[in-house]
Amino acid sequence: MKRSRDGPKRAWLIVGKRTMGKKEWNDELTIHRMVYELVRQGRLVFVGGGWGMPDEACTSYQAIIDSYTYSLRKLNATFLSCARPLVAWQADSFGHSRELSSLVAQMGFDGLFVNPISFDDELLRMQRRALEFVWRGSDDLGGDTDIYTHKLFDGYWSPPGYCFGSTCDDPLFMASDAVFNNVEQRIEDFITKIRYRQAPHYNTRHVMVMMGKRLGFYDAKLWFTNIDKLI
């Protein structure tokens, strides 16, 4: 979070309400001010707002609604409307409930991001350039349950070869060494990966590329520095 303040163009998102419920949030006034500032500037964005993957572990219909109700009210009371999550997030569920898509559509979310899905379904959608689609959660309720849905290509991980930090062993961007400078080659490789490996499976001119890793942001400065060079 502190590294986000190093540059006005640096932004990141938080998934799951648990992150904001730690003891440090109650004890550190400095953290309060930092979070308020980043949220107000639109550089810290909440996704979903409730518990991540709230429909897992035999969750009841009412429990899902209660989770979102409590969490979204808490975010609004704490940060006002600028913290309102715009998209729902199901990026770690092995199977996705149609009922959840119906619920988040009726709650007013603009989109739903999912991963993974059935291998057969994913292969068919890749062939048809249909990894983005409009999902109707309820035939009875009709259009009120339609929601834009996006299947993440590499999950919430960076493209292969572009994970930075102490938990990764991918090459870093090296530009200061007069002998070894790999920036141009790494950028060409990145563009090639996105253009030929990912973009052909989406029917859009805009391709979303995730940069991250599960429990991998221990070296925020290293991540931001390399992403800046890539951009």
pLDDT tens, N- to C-terminus, the chain (231 residues): 666 666 677 776 666 545 555 555 555 667 778 888 889 888 888 888 877 777 777 788 888 899 899 989 988 998 889 899 999 988 877 778 888 899 999 999 999 999 988 899 999 999 999 999 999 999 999 999 999 999 999 988 899 999 887 778 888 888 776 667 888 899 999 999 999 999 999 998 899 999 877 776 777 888 888 888 888
Residue 148 pairs in a beta bridge with 111, 134
Would 40 be classed as within a structural domain?
A: no
- Residue 205 has a pLDDT of 87
Please identify every residue annotated as catalytic: 92
218 assigned to some structural domain: yes
The torsion angles phi and psi of 202, rounded to 5 degrees, stand at: -125, 140
pLDDT, residue 4, reads 64
Q: Assess if residue 84 is contained within a domain.
A: no
The reported pLDDT for the residue numbered 169 is 84
User: Residue 209: inside a domain, yes or no?
Assistant: yes
Query: Is the residue at 178 inside a domain?
Result: yes
Q: What are the beta bridge partners of residue 150?
A: 113, 132
Any domain includes 14: no
Q: How many domains does the chain have?
A: 1
Q: What's the predicted TM-score (pTM) here?
A: 0.84
Q: 42 CB contacts (<8 Å, ≥6 apart)?
A: 11, 82
Domain residues for the domain of 181 are 159-231
Residue 188: phi, psi to the nearest 5? -60, -40
**Among 46, 107, 47, 109, residue whose Cα is nearest residue 79:** 46
